[in-house]
Structure 1
Amino acid sequence: MAAMIGQYTADLSGKDTLDNGDIPTFENNFKSALSNTFKSQLAASSPYLYFMGQI
């Protein structure tokens, strides 16, 4: 499970996800990955909002 979350974070944040105990950095990268996921999902469902810079 942890490996999957780490890979998801690396893939969608575009940043390394090292298992080095740096929790704040990993948390920020995970939030970035989630944000990128939701932005792409929203952009796919509402291209007008994406184009107008609302998301």
Structure 2
Amino acid sequence: MIFLEENKSNAVFPGMISYIMMDANNLKKINDSLGHNKGDEFVIILKNKTAEADPLC
């Protein structure tokens, strides 16, 4: 549902949106050894680093 809401609220290019699919290597190992909360933290860090590298993300 978030995807559809973001697509509707896109004021610059209405109806146009893109997304990135990434394969986070070893995420299962992080989840299994440190727990899902740490896995979630890892995903957030990955998202932030991606946004730093490309502000349009």
More helix by share: 1
Does TM, scored on the shorter chain, surpass 0.5? no
TM-score by length of 2: 0.43
Q: Which structure would you say has the larger RCO, counting Cα contacts within 8 Å and 6 or more residues apart?
A: 1
Pair member with larger Rg: 2
